[in-house]
Each structure stands twice: as C-alpha cells, then as structure tokens.
Amino acid sequence: MPFDIESFHERAVSTPSHDSVAEMRSLLVETLEGEHFEPTVDGAGNVLAIRESGREGPHLVLNTHIDTVPPHVPYDRDGEVVSGRGSCDAKGPLAALLAAFFEVEPERGTLTLAITPDEETDSTGAAHLRKTLSADGYIVGEPTGLDVCTAAKGRFDGTVTVTGTSAHAAEPSSGQNAVRAAGPIMQAMETYDEKAGPGEHSQLGWPTLTPTMIEGGEVKNQVPAECTITFDRRSVPPETADGFRAGLEEHCYQWLPKGMNLRVAFSERETPFFEAFDTDPDAELVRTLADASGGEVRPFGAATEASYFAQDAPTVVFGPGVLADEEGAVAHSDREYVRLPDVHAAADALRETLRVLLGHQ
C-alpha cells in the first residue's frame, strides 16, 4: 500500500515532542521499519535511513526535525486544514519528505533521510551531522509556503560589557561610570553596519544588530563599574560569527571613553551559531525543485539548521505551511496549522525533483 501521508501526519501531530522526542522518534522509526527500511539512530539522536542505487551519481539528503516548541497544542482537523503543534513546523514537511523518500527509488546516486531531534533548542543533532555527513545537495523541510528558499540570515547573540571604575556617587568624577558609557556604545552599535559591517546582501538585504537588554550598577549611591548590553545579531554572508565579534569589538572601542575597557562575547552555546547562508539561485537543485513546485525562489525568514548543511553543498529550505499569514504568526503559535493539499503538493514536488536528479541521464 502507498504511504498514507494524512494518517502519518495525524499521528505525528498528536504525538507531543516539545519536552522529549522519544515517542516521536519511536513513531518515525516504526514508520520506516513498516516501509521495510532499516533506520539507525546515531549517538546524537538523529534518525537516518539510506537508499542506494549502486550506480555513481549525486548524494542528496532530505532533512527536517521532530522536536517542537512548547506548549503542546492538540491535533484538530477541519476539512482540509489541520491545526496543532508541529502541524507545519515541521511535521507537515516531515510527512512530505517521507512520502518522497518511500516512493522514489534512485536509479543513480544515493538518497539519505536525516531527521534531527533538537532544532528548536541546541541543534546538537545537526551539529553532529555537520561532522559526519557529506552530500551533493540538501533539502531542509520547513514551512515555506511551497517556495524554494535559497538563503537565510544567521543568528548570533551575546553581550558588550563596558568596564570602568566604581566610586561614591557624591564624587562621580573620581570614578568611571560604565552605565553612562553605555550610551555612546549603543550609538556605536547603531552605526556598525554602516561603518564596518558586511553591507547589503543581494538576497537577504541588510543585517541587523539589536540591543535587547541592559544591566548595570549594584547600589543607588555608587558609580557603576560595569554595564552589560545584550544584543541580537542577524547576519548576512559573508559575515562569520568570529569576524562579527572581532569587528564589533574594534568598532565599539572607538566610541569608548578614555581609560575604560570593553569586551564583546557570545552567549554560551554547545553548538555553533547558525551562520548566514546563500545558495546560488541557478543551482540545479534550486531550478529543479522550483520547476516542480511552481513556487518562488526567495530567502527564508528564520534561522534554520540549513545553515550547517549549506557549508557542505547547495542547500534549499522547502515545505508546506507558512511561518505567518495575514492574521499573524502561524508556526510557534497557538493557531499553528497546515493545509493538507499543500502537504500533498510538497510531496509531489519532492518526488519529481528526486526523480529528475537521481534518475538516468
């Protein structure tokens, strides 16, 4: 019997995976075994399955994730619309990827299904795949409205810490006020991209640097010796995390009052930050999937694990559902939903793409 996309999608959305992915991973493994595959679960919790043709050809990877953000929202169906947590992010894309994986037998090359467990948190699964998996192209399942997304901004966060000298507030000139110095430093942050950033990107536009929190001082009658500004950075190529940190620190020093110190540091994280990525819109993978889906070729609006895979080979983000609609947020919201015809359409486009790229030439 052909794979039942809607039945699997119902079971997947009905399975909570916001606190633990154990039950959802068991469902995925059971589904793969039911279709006569022998999946493996690696040390990082990724579920992998492989179809090999035995003939030389490209290696393509289908990827998405099985974890969701909290809280769990129960499955509900109203006609052709399914709502519930994960319905579009990313169990709708997962259902479409599975359908294509099951139904397309490569005539050349290799097809790998690689499903990660923690995209919404630390991405330890994808970081592990980054070291252990190599391919010629990656399709990453996320809600794109059936558009083919070839670029996404990176995301870094961290702090700018200004250090001065404490003193009695009755004699402020005897100290160096770190809170007062934060004003010029935030002005420096405002000018960073104009003066020292990577510039405007052809697909992604300008990067952003946003101060999000500020903390300084210990008591009301003391000149504060330290002030910390927390920032959110949305980067564009070719900027790297390390290059941005060093560049921002150098730029901010130019605005720092004499005799004070400053340090830019990233937040602690087990895995590398998502770097910005871009895939050539004329790459064969992009053109083939866009022809099959009929969708636009455009950037993706959120950071994803595609960032890791794009360092290895051309990578696109694709799937049914949307991050937001005319009413507001969809993915990660209480009203998360996906249209089942879009899940089927995504599966059709993926099947056609795989048949073209992994068929006879």
Q: Which residues does the chain have with pLDDT short of 70?
A: 360-361
The CATH number covering residue 251 comes to: 3.30.70.360
Residue 217 belongs to a domain: yes
Both 140 and 9 in one domain: the answer is yes
Residue 84 belongs to a domain: yes
Residue ending a domain, choose from 235, 266, 297: 266
Residue 272 belongs to a domain: no
Range(s) of the domain holding residue 226:
154-266
- CA distances from residue 18 to 118, 198, 336 in whole angstroms, order as listed: 9, 36, 14
Q: pLDDT at position 344, please?
A: 98
Both 184 and 310 in one domain: the answer is no
pTM (2 d.p.): 0.92
Both 23 and 131 in one domain: the answer is yes
Both 39 and 131 in one domain: the answer is yes
Both 130 and 164 in one domain: the answer is no
What are 306-336's pLDDT values in tens digits?
999 999 999 999 999 999 999 999 999 999 9
* Cβ neighbours, 10 Å, residue 55: 12
Q: pLDDT at position 1, please?
A: 72
Both 158 and 146 in one domain: the answer is no
Residue with tokens 């006879």: 360
Both 129 and 206 in one domain: the answer is no
Both 177 and 117 in one domain: the answer is no
The CATH number covering residue 120 comes to: 3.40.630.10
Task: Identify which of 318, 236, 309 has the alpha carbon closest to the alpha carbon of residue 276.
Answer: 236
What are 178-213's pLDDT values in tens digits?
999 999 999 999 999 999 999 999 999 999 999 999
Both 26 and 99 in one domain: the answer is yes
Residue with tokens 């953000």: 69
Both 135 and 198 in one domain: the answer is no
Both 50 and 84 in one domain: the answer is yes
Residue ending a domain, choose from 240, 266, 292: 266
Residue with tokens 């399914």: 82
276 with 239: CB under 8 angstroms?
yes
Q: pLDDT at position 361, please?
A: 64
Both 254 and 108 in one domain: the answer is no
Give me the number of domains the chain comprises: 2
